[in-house]
């Protein structure tokens, strides 16, 4: 059974720092890897989806990479801002369109 | 743009009430899903449906049922709400196929059962 782990569970950084959020998964036979953002009490906002044939995706200050062989994905946030404060979820897409969610990394960017 | 809507953002119900959570998608997706999200437990799949009138149990179906009478609408039913069903409920939809297509999520319904 797929397991997805996100480390660290919480992170606090000063504004302007570049940072990396980590995600690892146990079963490398994934179809997609997706990163979401979730603000307190709100739904999921999709940030980036990497298909299994891709190595990375970029959107603005965000870059997500995927290494299936090592079972890892990273989300890189450049020049962090207080508005980036949220919980970031990593999600692995398995066969049959089933998702496995990581526990999330709660990010706080201090002004 | 894919749009998934949920009937309520916030809902407060009493123990024992029958509760309906509605989800509607506008992209003609075959698959629809219901999840619940709880602190420390993450998101867990309750039920999903890959076609009208079809349903499959997810990881935690106990205490819930679903209905899919039309392709665009997927309802989650709590037959007799209990306090342990207080949670955030998220609906999602996707295309169906041999591969695994992106799931699009609704805004969520925060249900409180008192």
Alpha-carbon distance of A78 to B95, in angstroms, equals 33
The per-residue pLDDT for A97 is 80
Yes or no: say if B106 and B6 are a contact pair by the CB < 8 Å rule: yes
Q: Which of A63, A86, A58 is nearest to A76 (CA)?
A: A63
pLDDT tens for B51-87 read 999 999 999 999 999 999 999 999 999 999 999 999 9
On whether the CB atoms of residues B20 and B111 are closer than 8 A, the answer is no
DSSP A43: -
The pLDDT value given to residue B101:
85
Chain B's closest residue to A35, CA to CA, is B102
- Indicate yes or no: CB of B90 within 8 angstroms of CB of A44: yes
CB contact under 8 A, A46 and B105: yes
**CB-CB neighbors (< 8 A) of A49 in chain B:** 102
Count other Cβ atoms within 10 Å, centred on residue B60: 14
Above 70 in pLDDT, residue B98?
Answer: no
Q: Which helix (H) or strand (E) holds A88?
A: strand A86-94
pLDDT of A26 above 90: yes
CA distance readout (Å), B91 to A39, A52, B11, B14, B34: 17, 24, 15, 22, 5
Do the Cβ atoms of B5 and B58 come closer than 8 Å? no
Inform me whether the pLDDT recorded for B100 exceeds 90.
Answer: no
């Amino acid at each position: 059974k797929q397991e997805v782990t996100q480390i660290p569970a919480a992170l606090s950084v000063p504004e302007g720092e570049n940072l990396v959020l980590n995600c690892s998964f146990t079963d490398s036979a994934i179809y997609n890897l997706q990163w979401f953002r979730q603000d307190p009490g709100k739904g999921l906002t999709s940030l980036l989806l990497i298909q299994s044939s891709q190595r990375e995706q970029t959107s603005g200050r965000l870059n997500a990479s995927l290494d299936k062989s090592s079972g890892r994905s990273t989300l890189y946030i450049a020049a962090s801002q207080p508005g980036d404060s949220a919980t970031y979820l990593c999600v692995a897409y398995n066969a049959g369109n089933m998702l496995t969610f990581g526990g999330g990394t709660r990010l706080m960017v201090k002004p | 743009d894919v749009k998934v809507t949920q009937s309520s953002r916030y809902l407060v119900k009493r123990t024992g009430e029958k509760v309906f959570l509605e989800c509607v998608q506008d992209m003609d997706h075959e698959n629809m899903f219901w999840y619940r999200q709880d602190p420390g437990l993450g998101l867990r799949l309750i039920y999903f449906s890959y076609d009208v009138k079809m349903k499959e149990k997810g990881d935690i179906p106990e205490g819930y049922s679903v209905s899919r009478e039309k392709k665009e609408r997927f309802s989650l039913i709590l037959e007799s709400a209990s306090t342990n069903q207080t949670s955030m409920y998220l609906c999602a939809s996707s295309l169906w196929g041999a591969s695994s297509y992106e799931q699009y999520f609704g805004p969520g319904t925060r249900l409180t059962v008192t």
